Structure 1
């Protein structure tokens, strides 16, 4: 009886430490991976989006080559990142079950509507869910930007995705210029996109 009680207490302690460690890791990643330096106070709106009066973006000091991949869209057509060379790419990793991802999607759609005739391509990679689930979510919300499926999460693994949403901003030469972990509003997205012209 005593041994089983000690084992239960030890297991509970280890689970608690593991949860704390994971939370600290995700918190520190979201702080260190983000390249956003806010010059004004943030306020959280009721829909969970962060709004700022002005946002200053610091691009990566050293550009890194974006890893190429090939995934299928909702119609089964294969698309690779290398197909988009010569265009600026806003690459977003998300899932239908993720509340910050869902809060960010209308902002991405607004950006898409404003930029659909430009040199910017928005690519949202859905991680790990079946086609039917993703297609229904996209159709119900009438989103029009490009959705790709990463059913085995192989591309998410290549891009070291530890929390979602995570976004990469890739220039016309295929270099990652900036990365943002967490949800964004349209002003933040536009500030990141401006760094692709430098």
Structure 2
């Protein structure tokens, strides 16, 4: 009986010793197991090599090159400057008005040759033109707002309204109203300055 109990106790001791060297599953990882798993880079990347969430990547179809846009902008600016310079080089409405003021200043100074020269084409001879002012002692002119410059086929035209008071030698004042049309040419060999093309004046 004592021997039987001894055998049972010995069997239990051997069993406890055998089980005591094992640990429950999941409580430990071997060094070999640690080395077998991929580890992320020190910078925090994922084990797959893909960018970290939230990171942006360049668009392979997009080329950020500011030079073409800058070149186009520079070209537009240069063209606008050239157009503005050309517009400034051409005599405008103010130059046409100045011709009419000079015209009547010459008449009042009795410099009929200078006044005659301001016509583009005058059907009268210089002498006939001067005789037309023989009885006039002075002319005052009121120049209205000029119309737009009419451009086409290398020619420029502008219409300017006027009102005139012509004082005669006997003291009479004749009043006229109407308009002048001035012309200039931009073709090679043409007259680039404004000249009087025609006048339409009616006595009031």
Q: Please indicate the TM-score interval, normalised by the length of the shorter structure.
A: under 0.3
**TM-score, structure 2 as length reference:** 0.26
Higher relative contact order (CA 8 A, sep 6+): 1
- Rg larger for: 2
**TM-score, structure 1 as length reference:** 0.27
